[in-house]
Amino acid sequence: MDTIPCEYLSLELSEKWIIFGFVLCHPSLANKTAAELWKQALTSNLVISLFRDEVLYITPPHIQAFYESIKGYGKKMN
């Protein structure tokens, strides 16, 4: 039996890509399974270093503020 070599991603890296993916493709959050995956990934409270002492916090309140800043999303999120 042939096996395919594969590399496992850490949970932290997987959560980071899930968050980035849904931030960029937010309409897919209408899917119930996708929304549950999104909520689970957001529990990690991701912090991304941008430059030296500049960081980007990815937590539920920050993400909600981001979506509310998009025209028309303020009413949908509340």
38-68: per-residue pLDDT in tens?
A: 888 888 878 888 888 888 888 888 887 877 7
Burial grade of 1 (CB within 10 A; 0-12, 13-18, 19 or more):
exposed
Asked if the structure places residue 5 within a domain, the reply is: no
- Cα-based distances in Å from 58 to 2, 21, 24, 34, 45: 41, 13, 13, 18, 6
Asked if the structure places residue 39 within a domain, the reply is: yes
pTM here?
0.65
Give the residue numbers spanning the domain of 19: 11-77
Asked if the structure places residue 72 within a domain, the reply is: yes
Asked if the structure places residue 3 within a domain, the reply is: no
- As a whole-number percent, the residues of the chain with pLDDT over 90 amount to 5
Asked if the structure places residue 59 within a domain, the reply is: yes
Q: What is the pLDDT of residues 12-47, one digit of tens each?
A: 888 888 888 888 888 888 899 998 998 888 888 788
Q: How many domains does the chain have?
A: 1
